[in-house]
């Protein structure tokens, strides 16, 4: 683990102090855990391998199957138990005996409390309280109630026309191109337009917010390196400074968007500045990244399974179910963590109070007891929607309906406009493990024209 910075890294004493605080935050949230994970991975711990072993980045699913072969729960001496079956994972996510442990349930309580004390608004990320990902009821219930009305089926449907328009505009820009990077040119830009609309972000700041949100999302990964954390924290400082200004602008000139409505809330439901910042961070870090990965992964899967793409052309009404199958077989969020708040039981196994348990969502989504022939990509799969890609229980993704619609509109429009689209070469995966998706997808948009 890198040494804590000294005066030579800082300049004046204020900079030195901030550098030391940054290192302490990283060490508590990621550094010590990273060391333990690497040690356990070398000893053959399957859960640790899934989180940090670079040798399985291209195909972590074979490790999930090794976990499954060992049973629904696997324990390591220095790590957490993990659920792999669909039943045990769903039970874990829905059980009132478990919670999110302030976003870092893997830490002992004293260290978790110290980490919270070291946190500050300027660098808070999507896994820090009061983010929805890091709090339990009643705080979670209050925040969710305030924002859930923006994600009802009726509210989500209002975004479809805008999504379709943006998708066509982005693809219009590619009309004269024969090749492109699908992530940079399309998969990232469609979701950022939708999220920016929700947050009331002006057009000229959207690419800045996209860049900051990409870096902030790194903090969702447990194996974050010191270098990556410093990059993420620098981006979060920029993002929080923007949010401060943005909130003041919305107070003076409110629009017809989620953020304007939240800023205007008064009485008992009025949100603090810290809470407003947390909602923006969550929307960017979780909602945006999930959809980028869904669209990118879907494009690669359909390119590799041309028979399924042909079926979707014949029966376009299958597109929503195709999105469910993409989410099942390659979920954007591979796993999550829950902390036992009481002595309890999961999958027939006793779990003592204070134990952190990893829910291996990607493994549960390939449980052969629920999904026959689970490695087969099948857009007609009748129970594809039973996946756990959006979690379950209290923390079921509030924006799941919006993400599904973006995936369906984004992929259908892409392949309607460019029916000859092909992935060329090897797409490059992101380095993150909890969030799984592509950093780059080189594509040929149309067949080359041959003369003579």
Distances (CA, A) of 191 to 132, 162, 177, 283, 285: 20, 11, 22, 11, 12
Output the pLDDT for position 210: 84
Q: β-strand 344-346 against 428-429: which pairing, if any?
A: unpaired
The span from the first CA to the last CA of the chain, in angstroms, equals 62
Q: Which CATH architecture has domain 7-444?
A: Orthogonal Bundle (1.10)
Helix (H) or strand (E) holding 83: strand 82-83
Residue 217's pLDDT is 83
Structure tokens that stand for 364 in this block: 């549960």
Contact 178, 194 (CB under 8 A): no
**Residue partners of 138: CB distance under 8 A and separation at least 6:** none
Q: Which helix (H) or strand (E) holds 299?
A: helix 289-304
Which two structure tokens, joined as six digits, stand for 184? Answer: 């940079």
82-83 vs 356-359, strand pairing mode: parallel
Tokens of residue 264, six digits: 């205007």
What is the C-alpha separation between 364 and 370, in angstroms, rounded? Answer: 9
Q: Specify the pairing of strand 344-346 against strand 349-351.
A: antiparallel
Written as one string, the DSSP assignment of 36-52 is HHHHHHHTT-HHHHHHH
Give, for all 452 residues of the chain, the pLDDT tens digit: 666 665 444 457 778 888 899 999 999 999 988 888 888 888 888 888 888 888 888 899 999 999 998 876 655 544 568 999 999 999 999 999 999 999 988 888 899 999 999 988 889 888 899 999 999 999 999 999 888 888 888 888 888 999 999 999 999 999 999 999 999 999 999 998 988 888 999 989 988 988 888 888 888 888 789 999 999 999 999 999 999 999 999 999 999 888 999 999 887 788 899 999 998 888 877 778 889 999 999 999 999 999 999 999 999 999 999 999 999 999 999 999 999 999 999 988 899 999 999 999 999 999 999 999 999 999 999 999 999 999 999 999 999 999 999 999 999 999 999 999 999 989 999 988 899 999 999 999 976 544 33
CA distances from 321 to 350, 411, 418 (A): 37, 12, 21
Other C-beta atoms lying within 10 Å of the C-beta of residue 377: 17
Helix (H, G, I), strand (E, B) or coil at 440: strand
pLDDT of residue 77: 47
User: CA-CA distance, 53 to 333, in Å (whole number)?
Assistant: 17
The domain ranges of the chain are 7-444
Q: What residues form DSSP beta bridges with 339?
A: 99, 356
Predicted pLDDT at 65: 93
d(CA 244, CA 248): 7
- Report the candidate in 324, 359, 357 with the shortest Cα–Cα distance to residue 340: 357
State the pLDDT at residue 78.
Answer: 46
């Amino acid at each position: 683990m890198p040494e804590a910075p000294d005066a030579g890294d800082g300049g004046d004493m204020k900079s030195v102090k901030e550098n030391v605080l940054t290192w302490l935050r990283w060490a508590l949230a990621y550094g010590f855990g990273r060391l333990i994970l690497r040690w356990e991975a070398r000893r053959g711990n399957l859960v640790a391998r899934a989180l940090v072993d670079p040798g399985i980045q291209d195909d972590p699913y074979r490790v999930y199957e090794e976990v499954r072969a060992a049973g629904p729960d696997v324990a390591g001496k220095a790590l957490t138990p993990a659920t792999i079956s669909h039943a045990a994972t769903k039970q874990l996510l829905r059980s009132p005996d478990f919670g999110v442990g302030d976003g870092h349930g893997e830490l002992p309580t004293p260290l978790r409390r110290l980490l919270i004390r070291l946190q500050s608004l300027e660098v808070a990320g999507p896994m820090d309280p009061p983010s929805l990902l890091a709090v339990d009821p009643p705080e979670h219930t209050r925040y969710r109630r305030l924002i859930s009305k923006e994600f009802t089926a009726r509210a989500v449907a209002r975004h479809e026309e805008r999504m379709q328009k943006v998708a066509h505009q982005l693809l219009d820009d590619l009309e004269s191109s024969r090749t492109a990077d699908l992530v940079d040119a399309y998969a990232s830009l469609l979701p950022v337009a939708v999220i920016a609309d929700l947050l009331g972000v002006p057009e000229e700041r959207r690419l800045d917010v996209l860049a900051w949100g990409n870096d902030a999302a790194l903090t969702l990964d447990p194996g974050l390196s010191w270098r990556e954390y410093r990059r993420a924290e620098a981006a979060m400082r920029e993002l929080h400074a923007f949010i401060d200004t943005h909130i003041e602008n919305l107070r003076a000139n409110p629009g017809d968007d989620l953020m304007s409505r939240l800023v205007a809330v008064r009485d008992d439901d009025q949100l603090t500045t810290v809470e407003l910042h947390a909602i923006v961070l969550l929307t960017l870090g979780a909602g945006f990244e999930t959809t980028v990965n869904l669209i990118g992964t879907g494009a690669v899967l359909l390119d590799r399974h041309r028979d399924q793409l042909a079926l979707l052309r014949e029966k376009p009404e299958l597109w929503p179910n195709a999105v469910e199958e993409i989410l099942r077989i390659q979920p954007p969020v591979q796993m999550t963590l829950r902390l036992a708040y009481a002595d309890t039981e999961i999958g027939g196994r006793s779990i003592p109070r204070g134990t952190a348990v990893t829910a291996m969502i990607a493994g549960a989504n390939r449980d052969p007891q629920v999904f026959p022939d689970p490695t087969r990509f099948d857009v007609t799969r009748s129970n594809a929607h039973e996946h756990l890609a959006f979690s379950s229980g209290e923390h079921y993704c509030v924006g799941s309906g919006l993400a599904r619609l973006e995936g369906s509109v984004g992929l259908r429009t892409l392949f309607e406009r460019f029916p000859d689209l092909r992935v060329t070469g090897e797409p490059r995966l992101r380095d993150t493990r909890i969030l799984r998706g592509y950093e780059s997808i080189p594509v040929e948009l149309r067949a080359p024209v041959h003369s003579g």
